[in-house]
Amino acid sequence: MRVVVVGAGIIGVCTAWYLCEHGFEVVVLERRDDVARETSAGNAGVIAPGYVTPWAAPGMPGKILSYLMSREAPVRFRPTVDRRQWRWVARWLRECRLERYRVNRLRMQRLAFYSRDELHELRTALGIDYHQSSGYLQLFRSERDLAMAGPARALLEEQAIPHRVLDADGCRAQEPALSADTPLAGGLYLPDDESGDCLEFARALRRAAEACGVDFRFGRQVGEILVEGGRAAGVRIGDGERIGAAAVVVAAGPESDRLLRPAGIDLPIYPVKGYSATVPLHEGAAAPAQALMDEAYKTAITPLGDRIRVSGTAEVGDADLKPRVAALRTLLKVGRDWFPDAGRWDEASLWTGARPMLPDGPPVLGATPVPSLFLNLGHGSTGWAMACGSGRVVADVVAGKQPAIDLDGLTLARYR
Ligand SMILES: Cc1cc2nc3c(=O)[nH]c(=O)nc-3n(C[C@H](O)[C@H](O)[C@H](O)COP(=O)(O)OP(=O)(O)OC[C@H]3O[C@@H](n4cnc5c(N)ncnc54)[C@H](O)[C@@H]3O)c2cc1C
């Protein structure tokens, strides 16, 4: 039985792998020339199930307003005339209430913890090395930032997620390479969270999937999902080629909504732009041992083998992926602040991507009202952390098997 997967980002590649494991004939259609060429290419690489959190959070609207005048703001909102943007914002504002935040966060964590377990199983089974490192250290430059993390810390306590609150000396003991010149009030360390290179993983899993029999077809822009006799029957490529299938899984990232609308599925997915800078390390330099997050700038710093990646910034309302110089300058400043001598900062490779963001936070997985049409999309800022779990869940649903986690709040039902 043939299943077509649209999109070969990390979500599509993981979905294809698990579908193949279930014994399906799998065809992956991707408009670019390789896997993980778009949002999955240059992300921060953080896998932090203990700390996955929706953007729709109490206090966020006020924070964004306070950032409006700052050039270094980690979050920017640019109003446009795009109706999709306002629809997204209206729902996002409703989801910022504390009770909604808690519900959404728990839904995301349920998937992220499962996903981490699946990732570990897969990397052991396939022997995949993707520059993984253990631990996640959040840095707070000021007492105010430290105090603002109080509610998140309370949730960690409540959920019994292992973590340690550190003072400045404790942070430096945990991460000895940190510069002593940058102000530091304290930190929060999550020993069970981790990081790794999403692109390397996607490439390795593509090779394993091909060996399993998955047929990756690149340079294929899917123009239409074919619905025949009331069910998904395949797709049509932009040039008119028809590819028939018994089931179609849409994993097309931020642009999935365009494909789905003609099939009667109208999801408020919206691209939220972000950046990363990847720099080679000086030989023998003291580099970070684990992923870090500078909370003041909402900027992640991740070790990736002989490179460091600095990433962050969220821009709502900027449709094109042109880099904004001020944002990249801020990333490099944060990297230099903490690790001035580690990286060859002048040789940074710069990258821009668009998070496929739903307003409440969790992705949408599984079946749709159109028989044989399935979704795996809307993973926002935590798609790498949720990729293996999401791929496994969707493959299970396609195969008619009971997924290992409860899908309540992770399906299309919450948008209907
Ligand atoms: C700055 C930044 C930092 C991030 N940091 C993290 C992090 O630390 N941890 C984390 O978990 N997540 C992080 N993310 C989020 C993560 O990168 C995304 O959630 C994830 O990559 C989404 O994967 P995807 O496969 O859904 O989308 P994509 O990687 O965008 O893949 C979708 C694919 O579909 C293809 N496609 C689209 N339309 C069509 C079509 N019509 N026909 C054929 N192909 C099509 C595209 O070419 C693309 O290859 C970050 C994102 C950004 C921008």
Residue-level pLDDT, tens digit, the chain, 416 residues: 999 999 999 999 999 999 999 999 999 999 999 999 999 999 999 999 988 999 998 888 888 888 777 777 888 888 888 888 999 999 999 999 999 999 999 999 999 999 999 999 999 999 999 999 999 999 999 998 888 888 788 889 999 999 999 999 999 999 999 999 999 999 999 999 999 999 999 999 999 999 999 999 999 999 999 999 999 999 999 879 999 999 999 999 999 999 999 999 999 999 999 999 999 999 888 889 999 999 999 999 999 999 999 999 898 887 788 888 888 999 999 999 999 999 999 999 999 999 999 999 999 999 999 999 999 999 999 999 999 999 999 999 999 999 999 999 999 999 98
pLDDT confidence of residue 151:
78
CB count within 10 Å of CB 159 equals 12
Beta bridge mates, 243? 235
Candidate of 75, 379, 386 to mutate for ligand 1, largest count of ligand atoms within 8 Å of Cβ: 379
Separation of CA 175 from chain center: 25
Cβ of 391 below 6 Å from ligand 1? no
pLDDT confidence of residue 282:
93
- Under 8 Å between Cβ of 234 and 36: no
pLDDT confidence of residue 308:
96
pLDDT confidence of residue 293:
97
pLDDT confidence of residue 80:
87
pLDDT confidence of residue 51:
87
Distance CA 359, CA 191 (A): 29
pLDDT confidence of residue 306:
93
pLDDT confidence of residue 399:
98
Cβ of 9 below 6 Å from ligand 1? yes
Cβ of 252 below 6 Å from ligand 1? yes
Distances (CA, A) of 215 to 1, 223, 233: 14, 19, 18
pLDDT confidence of residue 193:
97
pLDDT confidence of residue 64:
83
Global model pTM greater than 0.85: yes
Candidate of 384, 388, 390, 394 to mutate for ligand 1, largest count of ligand atoms within 8 Å of Cβ: 384
Please tell me the residue having the least CA distance from ligand 1 atom 37.
252
Please tell me the distance between residue 252's alpha carbon and the centre of ligand 1 in angstroms. Answer: 8
The alpha carbon torsion through 355, 358, 361, 367 (nearest 10 deg) reads -110
Cβ of 274 below 6 Å from ligand 1? yes
